[in-house]
Amino acid sequence: MEKVKSVEILIALAVVLSVLCISSAVPLQTCEAREIKELHIGYQPSTHQIAEMTAMEKGWWERDLKRFGIEKVTDTEFPSGPPEMTAMMGGALDIAYVGTAPPISAIDKELDAKIVAAVQTNGSAIVLLPELAANYTSPENLKGLKIATFPPGSIQDTILKNWLKDKGIDPKDDLEIVPMGPRDAISAIAARAVDGVFLPSPSPTIIELEGAGKIVVLSGDMWPDHACCCLLASGELIREHPELLEQIIRTHINATEYNREHIDEAAGIFAKKVGWDMEKVKESFNRTDMEWIHNPHLEIPSTLEYAKVDYEMGYTDKLLRQDDLFDTSFYDRVTGIVPTPAPTPEVTPAPSPTPTKTPGFTTVLTVASLLVALYIILRRRF
C-alpha cells in the first residue's frame, strides 16, 4: 500500500509541475514569452503627445527599458488614430499614443490591446475661415459648410458628430465632413479648399497665426473635460511582459510631469520632432484647453460614452464595456511607488524592482518528464 501511495505522490507532483504556469498568478503566456529586443511606439504630430517625444528625445525609453532586454526603441508618426490602429492590428506597434476613441473600433475588430494610462484631456478646436468666423454665433452657422477633421472613429470625428447631433444638426445631410490628417487639413484651409477644420493642438493656433482662420469653439466646450489621448498597450505586453509594461508607464508618468514643469522645453522638443515653428507651438499652449494627465481612471467615463456613440453610429458591432477597453491595474501598482519627479533636466524615472524570471515552460516540462520517468522505473521495480 505504501508503495502505491509513493507512486501516486509522484504522479501528483508531475501533474502539478506540468500545470505550474496555468495555476500560478502569472499567466501561461509569461512562461512562453517572446523575447522583445526592440520596442515600437506609435504617435501623432500633436502637442497632446509630447510625453512620448520627451522620453524619446532624452533617451529615457532606451535607458529605462534596457534592463528588460530592450536594445532599441523606435517611434513612428501617424497622421491620426485610425491608421495608427491599423498598424497596431498588423503587429507593427507595441504601444501607441492615440486618442481613446480609435481603440474602440479597433478592439471591436479584435485588436488585442487595452488602455493602460491617460495622456491628456480636451485640446481640439473648430477653426473657420476668417469671414465665416466673424459671423459665427452657434452651430447652426456650420450648416452647408465643408469641415475637415480626422477620419471616422477618431476622437475628433466622434466628438464633432455627437455635438452636432446634440445641437439638432445632421452630420451627414446638413454639412460635409471630410477626413484629413493635420498637415493636409492645415493646407486645405490655407488654400480655402475647406470652410473650416476641427483639429487637435497646435494645428488650430498655427492656422490662426498664419491668418488662414480663427478658432470659434474649443472641444472642452463641446464635450466638457473629455478624454482625448491615452497610452495603449498590446495584449502581449500586458500578459507576457508585465514588469516591462510597468516601467513603460513609469517613464510616461515622469515624462508627463517633466513637461508640466518645463513647458517651453516641451515646446522645443515638439517643434524639433515635428518640424513646426517653436514660437507658434509655444503660443498654442495659450490658446488651448488641453491638460496633460496620466491617470487612466479620469478617462473612463467619457471613453465609455464614446463607445456608446460609436456603437450608435455603426462604427462598432457591439457595445464595448470598461473591461474591454481598460486595464488600470498596472498604473494602480506603479503609482503606489512612483514619486513626482524633481523639476530638473536630469530628472530620472523612479526605480522599479529587478525583473523576476518566471519558470520557463521548457524547464517545467523537463522536470515533469523526469518525474514520469521515475514513476515508470518504480512501477517496473514494484
Supply the pLDDT for residue 32.
61
- The reply to whether 238 and 319 lie within a common domain is yes
Whole-prediction pTM: 0.81
Q: Which domain holds residue 135?
A: 124-222
In a domain, 258, yes or no: yes
In a domain, 352, yes or no: no
Last residue of a domain, one of 202, 222, 242: 222
| Number of domains the chain is built from | 3
- The reply to whether 192 and 214 lie within a common domain is yes
What is the Cβ-side half-sphere exposure of residue 294, based on CA atoms within 13 angstroms? Answer: 23
Supply the pLDDT for residue 297.
97
- The reply to whether 232 and 330 lie within a common domain is yes
Supply the pLDDT for residue 336.
84
Dihedral angle sign, alpha carbons of residues 21, 22, 27, 28: positive
Q: Are strands 95-99 and 38-43 parallel, antiparallel or unpaired?
A: parallel
Supply the pLDDT for residue 3.
43
Q: How far apart are CA 85 and CA 138, in angstroms?
A: 34
* DSSP codes of every residue in 70-85: --EEEEEE-SSHHHHH
Question: What CATH number does residue 330 fall under?
Answer: 3.40.190.10
Last residue of a domain, one of 154, 188, 222: 222
Q: Pick out the chain residues at pLDDT < 70.
A: 1-32, 337-382
- The reply to whether 169 and 136 lie within a common domain is yes
In a domain, 82, yes or no: yes
Q: How far apart are CA 235 and CA 323, in angstroms?
A: 13
Q: Which helix (H) or strand (E) holds 215?
A: strand 214-218
Q: How far apart are CA 34 and CA 37, in angstroms?
A: 10
- The reply to whether 217 and 230 lie within a common domain is no
- The reply to whether 230 and 316 lie within a common domain is yes
Dihedral angle sign, alpha carbons of residues 357, 361, 366, 369: positive
- The reply to whether 130 and 14 lie within a common domain is no
Last residue of a domain, one of 222, 254, 271: 222
Supply the pLDDT for residue 379.
52
For 52-88, write each residue's pLDDT tens digit: 999 999 999 999 999 999 999 999 999 999 999 999 9
Q: Of 296, 313, 323, whose CA–CA distance to 232 is shortest? A: 296
Q: Which helix (H) or strand (E) holds 21?
A: helix 20-23
In a domain, 353, yes or no: no
Q: How far apart are CA 307 and CA 158, in angstroms?
A: 10
Supply the pLDDT for residue 131.
98
- The reply to whether 232 and 329 lie within a common domain is yes
Q: Which helix (H) or strand (E) holds 118?
A: strand 113-118
